[in-house]
Amino acid sequence: MKTKFDMQREKALKQLADARAEGKADEDIADLIDLINSNKDFYTTSSCAGRISLLQTPREHDKLESGWLGKWHRKVTLQEVKEALSKHDKYTVYLQAECPILHVVARDLESAKELLFKAQQSGFKRSGIQSINPERVLLELLSTEHLEVPIAEGKKILVDDEYLKFLVDVANTKWEKGREKLKRFLDSLES
């Protein structure tokens, strides 16, 4: 007889397959999530390999009023950022570099602790247990690379090209470090 965990796992894996078929899954992290999902004691519920973005949002970060001016799951050029920034027309625009993140459900606390240890040893230092209940343990695996800098307000750009280039270089470096940690984590799970 299937446990509640097994039924939830089955549903999550079907949702992942559907998202992939629709081109909505982050394929840059596919090898890692496939390896995690191949273990009967785990399943992933969401993931992102990391990204660089320009987000236009009110200062209160109202999601309904916010919008992406640019979003890249790779390193970016100054020109790409400037082109995306040229579309801003209101609110505050933030240049963001976001680290890789995975949400993983473990069958039990012992399995969760083992995966959490490997993630932390691979550089996912901001990882932890989000919730525990009798059926499952939810982990959030997160590294430390992060950048969020306001670069425009309303129609006014607040930074010059030299500083914007510096910020783009910092964002690209953070993105690269996140990718290195993903590889280390994958390697640690394969060994």
Q: Which one, of 23, 80, 25, lies nearest residue 54 by Cα?
A: 80
C-alpha–C-alpha distance, residues 26 and 28, integer Å: 5
Mean pLDDT of 24-34: 92
pLDDT value for 106: 98
* Interior/surface letters 121-157, b for 16+ CB within 10 angstroms, e for the rest: ebbbeebeeeeeeeebbbbbbbbebebebebbeeeeb
CA-to-CA dists, residue 64 to 67, 85, 180, angstroms: 8, 20, 34
pLDDT value for 31: 96
pLDDT value for 26: 86
Contact status, residue 76 vs residue 66, Cβ threshold 8 Å: no
Q: How many domains does the chain have?
A: 1
* pLDDT confidence band for 33 (50 / 70 / 90): very high
Q: Kindly state the tokens that stand for 20.
A: 């992939």
pLDDT value for 65: 84
In degrees, to the nearest 5, what angle opens at C-alpha 99 toward C-alphas 117 and 108? 30
pLDDT digits (tens, 9 = 90+) for 146-160: 999 999 998 899 999
Mean pLDDT of 137-141: 98
Q: Kindly state the tokens that stand for 121.
A: 């040893």
pLDDT digits (tens, 9 = 90+) for 96-122: 999 999 999 999 999 999 999 999 999
Q: How many helices (H) and strands (E) does the chain have?
A: 5, 9
Mean pLDDT, all residues of the chain: 95
Query: Domain holding 146: CATH number?
Result: 3.30.1960.10
**pLDDT, greater one: 23 or 188:** 188
For residue 164, the enclosing domain spans 4-190
Beta strand 128-133 with 136-142: parallel, antiparallel or unpaired? antiparallel
Mean pLDDT of 30-58: 96
pLDDT value for 159: 97
Mean pLDDT of 21-31: 91
Query: Whole-prediction pTM value?
Result: 0.90
